[in-house]
Amino acid sequence: MNRFAPLLALVLVVWAVSAGISSLSSATLLLATVLVAAGALVHEFVAGAVAANAGATSSPARQFATCLLQNLFRFAIGAVVIAWMAVSALWFFGG
């Protein structure tokens, strides 16, 4: 089941990026950056709290959700970085 989580996370990120690109707004990129950064910080906080309870066993559904969220943030950070590089290149070259 955890093999399916990265694929689902990638599909969700591609869908969100496609929706953001279709709006053609630089505010969308800024908002996505803030949301991904805030989500990554919350994820790190929760991961630290979960590590404190490492001795407890968790259900398969919780393991799947954890794997999905980890991959979702990983792909979202990559997508935001790529989007900023593309926007910066367009601004630099006057596109």
pLDDT digits (tens, 9 = 90+) for 13-61: 777 776 666 665 666 677 777 777 777 777 777 777 666 665 667 778 8
DSSP state of 94: T
Collect contacts of 10-13 with beta carbons under 8 A, ≥24 apart: 10/71, 10/75, 12/72, 13/72, 13/75, 13/76, 13/79
Q: Domain for residue 50, yes or no?
A: yes
Domain presence at residue 64? yes
Is 20 within the bounds of a domain? Answer: no
Distance CA 69, CA 50 (A): 14
| pTM score, whole prediction | 0.63
Structural domain count, the chain:
1
Domain that holds residue 36: 4-12+26-92
- The answer as to whether 32 is a domain residue is yes
The pLDDT tens digits for 56-79 are 677 788 778 878 888 888 888 888
Residue positions counted in the chain: 95
For residue 93, the number of C-alpha atoms closer than 13 Å in the C-beta half-sphere is 6
